[in-house]
Chains A and B, each alone.
Chain A
Amino acid sequence: MHKEEEQVLRFSRLNRGLHIVMIISFISLSLTGMSLKFSYTSWAVALSHFFGGFEATGSIHRFAASVMVIVFITHIVDLTRLKRKELGSWKELIFGKDSMLFNRKDWEDFIGSMKWFLGKGERPEYGRWTYWEKFDYFAVFWGVFVIGSTGFTLWFPEFFTRFLPGWFINVATIIHSDEALLATGFIFTVHFFNTHLRPEKFPMDIVIFTGRMPLEEFKIDRPQEYKELVEKGELENYLVEAYPPIVTRTIKIFGWTALSLGFFIVIWIIYAMIFSYR
């Protein structure tokens, strides 16, 4: 095995699979939802017709939403498995070293990053998870909760108005719609930049699909994590072979598709906001 092909495994198969499913679900939800939100634009009309009419669009939206909820639940279940089998306690899951929750290190990294951005320090030594990754992670929790709950209200208005006032449907519409705008806008700009478009990763980082990154890149990108693994002597446990080029190429095609759709959606939204906002 050539040294350059030595890679570090960072994501489990399940998490990689969930992310792919979520991408498909999220883009479907964006396209179908935006076609209704921006119904006064010609691209929305075209999109709605592309999906086979507003009813079909609605069905796709609800199906994708259900998939998203399943992805979410699967992840929660996976977390309990993680706690049970690997970490052993809730405390370890929540406050442990590799917890997704914000901790002291994140705060230090954030301050360090700011200093670095302003030219007053070196690049912080990022660990297993960076603070912006954790932010994205919890943004999904927030989004699934806010968009999902209002979405269900809008899905079954007759049921929910048995105990909620009729105007709540109007409120739910605004929350659902604006939170969705925030989510799509954030994912397709900030997340895309943070993960794929920032110059050292440009045009995309496929680690979330392959689950592995070259050891050399890992050393530079996550120096803290590398250091810890070496200190513990566990690095060998995570070293794996690179995927054959055909797999990488397929993944890149998928990645490009997702990226492009995201960009298109952003452009359409900006177009609607600027030229025909109401």
Chain B
Amino acid sequence: MVKKNHSKKLNDKQILRGSTAVLLFMLFVAVPVKTFGQDNSDCFGCHDDKSLTGTKNGKTFSVYVSEKNFTKFVHGSVPCIGCHVDLKDAEFPHNEDLKPAKCGGCHKSEQELHAKSLHGKAIARGDNLAPTCKSCHGGHEILPVKDPKSSVYPMKIPFLCGRCHQEGTKVQTQRTIHQDHIVENFSESIHGEGLLKKGLVVAPNCASCHTPHSILPHTDPASSIARKNIAATCTKCHVMIEEVHRKIIKGELWEKKSHTLPACIDCHQPHKIRKVFYELGMANQDCMSCHKVESLKSSKDNRSLYVDIKEYEASVHNKTACSQCHSEVNASHVRPCETITKKVDCASCHANVGEEYKKSTHGMLSAKNDPNAPVCSECHGTHKILNKKNPESRTFPTNIPGLCATCHREGEQAAVRYKGKEHSIIESYTESIHGKGLMKSGLTVTATCTGCHTAHRELPHANPNSSINPKNVAATCGSCHHGIQEKFEKSIHSSKISNAKNLPSCNDCHSAHKIKRADSEGFKLHIMDQCGRCHEEIAKTYFDTYHGKVSQLGYTKTAKCYDCHGAHDILSPSNPESHLSRKNVLKTCQKCHEGATRKFAGYFTHATHHDPKKYPILFWTFWGMTGLLIGTFVLAGIHTLLWLPRSLQWKRELAKRVKDKEKLNDENKEAENKEDGIDA
């Protein structure tokens, strides 16, 4: 257990105290002792004396080694000359100018690794800041690693390394160390917190990633923190990380091709690993150093490569680094993006959506490299993607019809290749109840294109997996109109009840894109034609009745198909639950004809006078009346036709008579005048 008084950070005082102790040990061991003994007791004969001192380079220091204490430590049974090899067979008192103790005699592999490491090479260069074995492990009083008091006990390692690798130390200030605030950051990281605060000795310390002895710069391919080795280093602990990260990074990519981004540290920065996601910063800034230039253009096709960082920061992906989407960038290149060969694959994160899209018409066309196929970015945009709940988003409900219209409007690329019956889809939708609900009433819960066709799984209606396949339409509409779906599925039109072929689904009566309010006049009249498409004969006979004739005139205040048969709950009249069963028919008539009696219900609502077998009375009445009509007109017609020429003749004769009479009158007058004249 770590004591509570261990602060999160190692303070300077603690480190100073530790450093002093180690320094004393170094001096002590380095003291030349005049002895020739081979036995430890020979050595302790002199060195067990607390006052014993030695001098080196003009400095005097204690060379006291407690025999009693020494035997308690791991090397207690090791002869002094096993380490101080240059004193073997030496005369006492031995020469004061001793070589450092040799650890490699026993710890050969560690010695070799250390020699090749940054630390070992620095020693070889004569760098006086480079740590030797003793710098970390101590001199005579070395404890087992598993002993909590050991200076290399996991929990103490951050403090041990921190002696040199923290702000203000000579190492940090005088040597080239690329990371800063290493110990501080580590102690705040999830690893540091686990180790120092939660006392998890299995939590990684410095040596877990950097190794204890083979510490190498990340540019060295042999280093445990070299880019290609990072995955292996991290997965020593995070064995199942692939499972967890599948949706975020293509598992294969980051392990098998570990030279390509993203490697663990691209997201999870080395010493700042947090439970919360990696911190952004560097990578994006690197990208933006070029892409912030508005005039930046592709040398290939001259398209703008400018990225508006403000748009990106306002987007839903503002916590996603450039390199997460543009995953082929290579940080070791001057232009990391020059290794990019493919377009962004959104499915690396949005895996489920990606799968759906692949199976859709859009996705299948896209797979064939059809230039008309919309890819993610055509609908969602690129750097400015907003949450679909944001009214500014291209996929906000009120924006969807316009979005789909860019291809599906008449004359556009999708509409041109479409061979089905639906035309002027966008215009029809806009005028439909759904379109008006959305665009005029601002009801964002209204069905938009994607409401019925789905956002990523859109397929032609013939496809059994399509949301608009006749089999699935009821459920699709039912996602909003659930009550109707329940009724419909109990009706004779539902495949759950009837085995008939070509059963109607919602759109067969309501249409797909021209859906009107069910209480609008237009719909009420239209629906009868819709019924008549399948029920052809019976619809004709309906139009021979008063009800049918009134509705044909364009009025709806009369019994229409659904007023009697029901709309969504249509059943065969032979079904007792039908609105037209013997049990219910009178009630159905009485909806309009209040005083209707049982006899009244005997009216033929689908009457034809052309069927002598089914309706003999009507047939014979009609032909009786027609016979009367024809008979009358034939007789009267003959009479008239015969009359006409005679009448013309008669008229001429009358005219002649009038003329004759006038002539006669004139003659009479003349005669009278003559008589008058004679008289005169």
Q: Is A bound to B?
A: yes
User: Given known contacts A161-B599, A199-B651, A200-B651, is B550 in contact with A178 (CB within 8 Å)?
Assistant: no
Interface positions, chain B 628-661, Cβ under 8 Å from A, are: 628-629, 632-633, 636-637, 639-640, 642-644, 646-648, 650-651, 654, 657
Chain A nearest CB, measured from B197 CB (Å): 85
Which chain A residues lie closer than 8 Å to B622 at the CB level? 174, 178
Report whether B593 and A157 are in contact in the complex, using a CB–CB cutoff of 8 Å.
yes
Cα distance A169–B589 when bound, in Å? 14
Report whether A158 and B647 are in contact in the complex, using a CB–CB cutoff of 8 Å.
no
Interface presence of A116 (CB below 8 A): yes
Report whether A35 and B625 are in contact in the complex, using a CB–CB cutoff of 8 Å.
no
Which chain A residues lie closer than 8 Å to B651 at the CB level? 199-200
Report whether A198 and B643 are in contact in the complex, using a CB–CB cutoff of 8 Å.
yes
Interface positions, chain A 166-186, Cβ under 8 Å from B, are: 166-167, 169-171, 173-175, 178-179, 181-182, 185-186
Partner of B621, one of A175, A193, A220, A278: A175
- Residue on B nearest A191 in the bound complex, by CB: B636
Interface presence of A1 (CB below 8 A): no
Report whether B629 and A158 are in contact in the complex, using a CB–CB cutoff of 8 Å.
no
Interface presence of B543 (CB below 8 A): yes
Report whether B640 and A49 are in contact in the complex, using a CB–CB cutoff of 8 Å.
no
Report whether A170 and B603 are in contact in the complex, using a CB–CB cutoff of 8 Å.
yes
Report whether A167 and B617 are in contact in the complex, using a CB–CB cutoff of 8 Å.
yes
Cα distance A162–B598 when bound, in Å? 8
Interface presence of B675 (CB below 8 A): no
Chain A nearest CB, measured from B354 CB (Å): 56
- Residue on B nearest A198 in the bound complex, by CB: B647
User: Given known contacts A39-B552, A171-B617, is B599 in contact with A199 (CB within 8 Å)?
Assistant: no
Report whether A174 and B609 are in contact in the complex, using a CB–CB cutoff of 8 Å.
yes
Chain B nearest CB, measured from A164 CB (Å): 7
* Majority secondary structure of chain A interface residues (helix, strand, loop or mixed): helix
Mask for A141-159, Cβ within 8 A of B = 1, else 0? Answer: 0000000000000100111
State which of A40-48, A237-245, A253-261 sits at the interface with chain B.
A40-48
Cα distance A191–B106 when bound, in Å? 140
- Residue on A nearest B658 in the bound complex, by CB: A216
Interface presence of B147 (CB below 8 A): no
- Total count of chain A residues near the partner, CB < 8 A: 52
Mask for A53-90, Cβ within 8 A of B = 1, else 0? Answer: 11100000000000000000000000000000000000
Report whether B602 and A166 are in contact in the complex, using a CB–CB cutoff of 8 Å.
yes
| Most A-side CB within 10 Å, residue of B549, B596, B651 | B549
- Residue on B nearest A47 in the bound complex, by CB: B553
Report whether B554 and A45 are in contact in the complex, using a CB–CB cutoff of 8 Å.
yes
Report whether B618 and A162 are in contact in the complex, using a CB–CB cutoff of 8 Å.
no
Mask for B516-553, Cβ within 8 A of A = 1, else 0? Answer: 00000000000000000000000010011110111011
Chain B nearest CB, measured from A134 CB (Å): 14
Chain B nearest CB, measured from A277 CB (Å): 12
Cα distance A156–B607 when bound, in Å? 19
User: Given known contacts A35-B553, A161-B597, is B546 in contact with A173 (CB within 8 Å)?
Assistant: yes
Interface presence of A36 (CB below 8 A): yes
Which chain B residues lie closer than 8 Å to A178 at the CB level? 622, 625-626, 628-629
Interface presence of A95 (CB below 8 A): no
Interface presence of B555 (CB below 8 A): yes
Cα distance A189–B633 when bound, in Å? 9
Which chain A residues lie closer than 8 Å to B628 at the CB level? 178-179, 182
Cα distance A53–B622 when bound, in Å? 28
Chain B nearest CB, measured from A119 CB (Å): 8
Report whether A161 and B553 are in contact in the complex, using a CB–CB cutoff of 8 Å.
no
Which chain A residues lie closer than 8 Å to B558 at the CB level? 54
Interface presence of B371 (CB below 8 A): no
Report whether A166 and B625 are in contact in the complex, using a CB–CB cutoff of 8 Å.
no
Which chain A residues lie closer than 8 Å to B650 at the CB level? 123, 199-200
Interface presence of B557 (CB below 8 A): yes
Which chain B residues lie closer than 8 Å to A113 at the CB level? 643
Cα distance A194–B637 when bound, in Å? 11
| Most B-side CB within 10 Å, residue of A55, A116, A161 | A161
Report whether A170 and B607 are in contact in the complex, using a CB–CB cutoff of 8 Å.
yes
Partner of B599, one of A49, A166, A200: A166
Interface presence of A165 (CB below 8 A): yes
Which chain B residues lie closer than 8 Å to A164 at the CB level? 599
Which chain B residues lie closer than 8 Å to A119 at the CB level? 646
Interface positions, chain B 450-502, Cβ under 8 Å from A, are: none
Interface presence of B595 (CB below 8 A): yes
Chain B nearest CB, measured from A269 CB (Å): 12
Which chain A residues lie closer than 8 Å to B621 at the CB level? 171, 174-175
Interface presence of B604 (CB below 8 A): yes
Interface presence of B594 (CB below 8 A): yes
Partner of B644, one of A154, A166, A198: A198
Interface presence of A16 (CB below 8 A): no
Interface presence of A111 (CB below 8 A): no
Interface presence of B600 (CB below 8 A): yes
Interface presence of B601 (CB below 8 A): yes
Which chain B residues lie closer than 8 Å to A182 at the CB level? 625, 628-629, 632-633
**25 pairs from A and B in contact (CB 8 Å cutoff):** A39-B550, A40-B543, A45-B554, A48-B554, A49-B554, A54-B555, A54-B557, A54-B558, A55-B555, A158-B594, A158-B597, A158-B600, A161-B596, A161-B602, A161-B603, A163-B599, A164-B599, A170-B618, A171-B618, A174-B625, A178-B629, A186-B633, A193-B644, A198-B643, A200-B650
Q: Told that A166-B601, A186-B636, A278-B543 touch, could you supply 16 new A-B pairs with CB distance under 8 A?
A: A39-B549, A39-B550, A39-B552, A54-B553, A116-B646, A165-B599, A166-B599, A166-B602, A166-B603, A171-B621, A182-B625, A193-B643, A199-B650, A199-B651, A200-B654, A278-B540
5 A-B pairs with least C-beta separation: A166-B602, A178-B625, A158-B595, A117-B642, A161-B600
